[in-house]
Amino acid sequence: MENAPLSHLEQRLIAHLQVIYPSLDNKDLAAKCLATFNLDPSTESPRPHRNLWEQSDIMLITYADTLRRKEEAPLETLHKFVKSKLSDCISAVHLLPFFPYSSDDGFSVMDYTTVNPSCGRWADVVNLSKDFKVMGDLVINHCSSRSMWFENYKAGVEPGASFFYEADPNADLSAVVRPRTSPLLREIQTKNGEKHVWCTFSHDQIDLNFENPVVLLEFLRIIRLYLEKGIRWFRLDAVAFLWKIPGTSCINLPQTHEIIRLLRLMIEHYAPDSVIITETNIPNQENLTYFGNANEAHLIYNFSLPPLLINSLVTGNSSHLKQWLMSMTPAQQGTTYLNFLASHDGIGLRPTEGLLSEWELETLINTMKRFGGKISSRTTPQGEAKPYEINISLWNALSGSALHGPDKWQFARFLCAAGVMMALEGVPAFYIHSLFGTENDLERVDNTGQFRSINRHIWDMEDLDHVLNTPTHHQKVFQSVTKLIQIRRAQPAFHPNATQYVLHMGENLFAFWRQSLDRRQSLFAVYNMTDQPQNFNLSELNLIATDDWTDLVSEQVYEDHLGKVTLMPYQFVWLANKKSKLKSS
């Protein structure tokens, strides 16, 4: 038996391990990986290049405790709300970290295997997974300084004593790419003397050492637990920083990509319907590398979309947005983009590098400050503080223009942004506050001292029910956005992998063409990005003369295929030749 030929799965696993750990006995390590995951080596590989999504897939991004009702577990409250109010809109729920934590609203995990009792129980996650796809956060780069692992590290016992990345404080670490301004290393007194541990994000978030294969095995156990609890979509948080080599940038290193390939190999053999999403808030061309050759992330966050779209809507100029979209190659079958406009984090500015000039970026930042936003910084290799992200709610970010400030077009601008995001190639993801038009929570910022808290409002369900059932902008946003989602979910031309071409209609209009995979439905999406009426001629779209064309948003039928269309400020059309309705489940 010792000389039995290796299975295809074993061969692939060993190949990945050989890149990551070239000096180890990787045949033995591969056996440990398979045993940890309880995988039979003979398990067949899933068919490659499968699209595990369709046009009806829409994701909700939320903390487990964003919605709270007295004497009810927040996870239960969330489940009830999504099932009763969003079942015809949402197919997947991204639960931001719901584990015991010490800081950063969950991203400083103390225990990866336990649900925070203040949120609920594992049973609540399992129940949610029965009605919706659930995406869980795998906070893989670091854990809390108050975790048992780190307590063990200080005491010199396992598990934990060898789990964290140490560095020489005298080493040249000037090339390391930083997302924060805090010192990279933290001095710690341990049983074995003074040590300096690596802290990419904060001194409460200690980076894990994946040079130790035991750390990899530990995370395989964690992932298997999540799979057993019904989680099928995995968000790899801050994964770009995973591997460190002093003297390099310590970001996007080959070993990091190889670990992602290994995790995907294991996860999709355990559950072929699983999906991996990489969260890499970095310049656009670097971000695209996380598709690999359709063997790394199934989806990557479209990080350049939020700042570029917001910039276009507040300046009235779509040139940079259009140029960026033209540079985005169509994703291979089996991969696609995760499109979003807001999240629990701020609006990342690194993804604008090479896309917006310094002057344009400064104008955007100043505009967002004018609308109540805050600016978080990072430290460059030269030791300079540089804007890293804008912290602001999407509702406030779109409250006016760069030239004139707040105006009467806030709602129209907000809906236009949602309309762009929903129509682009990829899977749309709505941060829960973008469904309600939640405003900047400055009181929460004061309470936490963290700028990101501005967009992490906690809704009491009585208050939310009230504003959604009375004539408020919250009600208007919720009703309008959910109606638009329902229209979007029914259109084959909005399949995440449907054909997309950018149209050239001047800087005031942003337009593109989508065509369904079977080529039966064509759809022209045209947006007025300004606060003034804009005209265009239907002859510019080259409509098929024998087809009937209807704007899915207004339901207006366009019989004159050569006629002129006037779009009011921030108005848009989804002009389709075949109108579809979502089939009832």
Residues 524-529: what's their mean pLDDT? 98
| 495 appears as a binding residue in the annotation | no
Q: What is the pLDDT of residues 198-226, one digit of tens each?
A: 999 999 999 999 999 999 999 999 999 99
| 404 appears as a binding residue in the annotation | no
- Residue 348, pLDDT above cutoff 90: yes
Residue 404: inside a domain, yes or no? no
Residue with tokens 């807001």: 342
Residue 522: inside a domain, yes or no? yes
Residues 372-378: what's their mean pLDDT? 95
Residues 302-308: what's their mean pLDDT? 96
- Tokens representing 246? 């002093």
Task: For the chain, give the longest Cα–Cα distance.
Answer: 81
3-state helix, strand, coil in the chain (%, to 5): 35, 20, 45
| 457 appears as a binding residue in the annotation | no
| 104 appears as a binding residue in the annotation | yes
- The secondary structure element, H or E, covering residue 130 is helix 122-131
- The secondary structure element, H or E, covering residue 324 is helix 319-327
Looking at residue 47, the DSSP 8-state letter turns out to be P
Give the mean pLDDT of the chain: 96
Domain extent, residue 558, equals 499-576
Q: Give Cα separations from 553 to 388, 481, 526 (angstroms).
A: 36, 11, 11
Residues 357-385: what's their mean pLDDT? 93
**Where residue 513 sits, what CATH number does that domain have?**
2.60.40.1180
**pLDDT for the residue 382:** 82
Residue 509: inside a domain, yes or no? yes
- Residue 2, pLDDT above cutoff 70: no
- Residue 1, pLDDT above cutoff 60: no
**pLDDT for the residue 381:** 81
CA dist 375 and 510 (Å) reads: 28
> Which member of 237, 441, 531, 551 is catalytic?
237
Residue 134: inside a domain, yes or no? no
Residue 534: inside a domain, yes or no? yes
Give the number of other Cβ atoms within 10 Å of residue 502's Cβ. 17
| 237 appears as a binding residue in the annotation | yes
- Residue 361, pLDDT above cutoff 60: yes
Residues 303, 372, 409, 465, Cα dihedral to 10°: 90
pTM, full prediction:
0.96
| 50 appears as a binding residue in the annotation | no
Residue 526: inside a domain, yes or no? yes
| 403 appears as a binding residue in the annotation | no
Residue 98: inside a domain, yes or no? no
pLDDT band at 585 (very low <50, low <70, confident <90, very high): very low
Q: How many domains does the chain have?
A: 1
pLDDT band at 582 (very low <50, low <70, confident <90, very high): low
pLDDT band at 29 (very low <50, low <70, confident <90, very high): very high
Q: What is the pLDDT of residues 538-569, one digit of tens each?
A: 999 989 888 999 999 999 999 999 999 999 99
Residue with tokens 């931001």: 96
Nearest to 125 by CA among 97, 88, 90: 97
Distance of CA 507 to the CA centre of its chain: 28
Residue 527: inside a domain, yes or no? yes
| 548 appears as a binding residue in the annotation | no
Tell me if residue 237 is catalytic.
yes
